[in-house]
């Protein structure tokens, strides 16, 4: 549903986006990550026809963003980081207004609005001004408004920023449900846990280039380095353990309040030797666990070098 080839955008002498190739399937949630200034916003603006590309092509929901921008706009929805709803209007009023703006009338509009109210469990809140709703409810209203015209592709920018944990999980559930129903979702976020939870695939932009694109699991495997987390009785024991393993040549980090993290050069190897070395030094081991690399490790490994190179 989204296909970009060689997408570029230049502002004067600044190359904001350079040769980005992107393919997102129907019903897929694709997470687009990157540091501030990496090109995320510019890429989305091109895909939503707000900004023409300097070079390259992009098809969104089957329409070309340059030659048929009106078709693209009719087939996509967008939810911005900041909820842009009129706080004085009610959810019902906003949905009816959006239906009118999208050219829906009469029974068709009424059926669509009623369906969205039911879909997002807004029935008890339809006549309450948006400004009086919780953050989670406001975001659900925002999503409902974006879906009035039944878009094939939905662009989400930091959809859970500022929400409490419960509301965050509720919004995540709604986004996952939309994807299961066939809506393609492009998610831009700096919340790595959100991307890890929602996205089937993740692309990392850095200095205007898409440096990688894969499933979260594949990205973690590429980083590859597991670690062994060891819990000890107290901070003094943890300090002794660090010295014992450092003398062996192991890479060891503190793990407060009373633990250490030992980096494993090869997955699953060296654990027994590490534990034997600690036991041989008379240290009591309270707990130990092999930990997989996180998406944060991936982000720091892949995004940071490209940013440094660009500077």
C-alpha distances (whole Å) from 293 to each of 197, 208, 240, 288, 290 are 15, 25, 25, 16, 10
Whether 311 has a pLDDT exceeding 50, the answer reads no
Cβ neighbors of 281 (< 8 A, separation 6 or more) are: 240, 241, 244
CA–centroid distance for 187 within its chain: 5
| Contact in structure between 142 and 85 (CB atoms under 8 Å) | yes
| Single pTM value for the model | 0.80
| Contact in structure between 192 and 34 (CB atoms under 8 Å) | no
Whether 62 has a pLDDT exceeding 70, the answer reads yes
Report residue 305's pLDDT band, with 50, 70 and 90 as the boundaries. Answer: low
Cβ neighbors of 307 (< 8 A, separation 6 or more) are: 35, 38, 206, 207
Give the residue range(s) of CATH 3.40.50.300 domains in the chain. Answer: 2-221
Mean pLDDT of 67-73: 97
Lowest mean pLDDT among 131-140, 210-219, 294-303: 294-303
> Tens digits of per-residue pLDDT, 169-194?
988 999 999 999 999 999 998 889 99
153-157 and 76-79 beta bridge pairing: parallel
| Contact in structure between 196 and 216 (CB atoms under 8 Å) | yes
Burial call 207-246: b when 16+ CB within 10 Å, e when fewer: bbbbbbbeebeebbeebeebbbebbbeeeebbebbbebbe
> Tens digits of per-residue pLDDT, 209-221?
999 999 999 998 8
| Six-digit token string for 275 | 């534990």
pLDDT value for 134: 92
Architecture of domain 2-221: 3-Layer(aba) Sandwich (3.40)
> Tens digits of per-residue pLDDT, 76-99?
999 988 778 999 999 999 999 999
Architecture of domain 225-292: 2-Layer Sandwich (3.30)
What is the rounded distance in angstroms from the CA atom of residue 37 to the CA atom of residue 280?
A: 51
What is the rounded distance in angstroms from the CA atom of residue 290 to the CA atom of residue 227?
A: 6
Give the residue range(s) of CATH 3.30.70.120 domains in the chain. Answer: 225-292
| Contact in structure between 83 and 160 (CB atoms under 8 Å) | no
Which residues face 15 on adjacent strands? 10
| Six-digit token string for 198 | 């929602």
| Contact in structure between 7 and 176 (CB atoms under 8 Å) | no
Q: Which residue has the tokens 């540091």?
A: 35
Mean pLDDT of 3-20: 97
pLDDT value for 68: 98
């Amino acid at each position: 549903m989204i296909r970009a080839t060689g997408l570029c955008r230049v502002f004067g002498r600044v190359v904001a986006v350079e040769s980005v190739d992107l393919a997102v399937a129907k019903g897929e949630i694709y997470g687009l990550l990157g540091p501030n200034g990496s090109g995320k916003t510019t890429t989305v603006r091109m895909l939503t026809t707000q900004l023409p590309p300097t070079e390259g092509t992009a098809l969104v929901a089957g329409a070309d963003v340059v030659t048929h921008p009106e078709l693209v706009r009719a087939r996509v929805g967008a939810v911005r980081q900041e909820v842009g709803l009129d706080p004085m209007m009610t959810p019902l009023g906003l949905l009816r207004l959006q239906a009118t703006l999208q050219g829906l009338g009469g029974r068709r509009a009424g059926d669509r609005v009623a369906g969205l109210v039911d879909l997002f469990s807004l029935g008890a809140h339809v006549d309450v001004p948006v400004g009086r709703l919780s953050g989670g409810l406001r975001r659900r209203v925002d999503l409902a408004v974006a879906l009035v015209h039944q878009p094939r592709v939905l662009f989400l920018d930091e959809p859970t920023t500022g929400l409490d944990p419960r509301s965050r999980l509720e919004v995540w559930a709604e986004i996952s449900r939309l994807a299961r129903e066939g809506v393609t979702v492009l998610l831009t976020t700096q919340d790595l846990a959100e991307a890890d939870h929602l996205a089937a695939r993740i692309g990392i932009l850095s200095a205007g280039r898409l440096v990688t694109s894969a499933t979260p699991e594949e990205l973690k495997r590429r980083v590859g380095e597991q670690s062994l987390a060891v819990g000890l009785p107290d901070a003094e024991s943890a300090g002794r353990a660090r010295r014992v393993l450092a003398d062996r040549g192991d890479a060891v980090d503190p793990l407060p309040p009373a633990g250490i993290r030992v980096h494993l050069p090869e997955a699953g190897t060296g654990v027994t030797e590490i534990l034997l070395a600690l036991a041989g030094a008379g240290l009591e081991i309270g707990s130990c666990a092999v930990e997989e690399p996180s998406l944060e490790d991936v982000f720091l490994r892949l995004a940071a070098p490209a940013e440094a190179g660009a500077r």
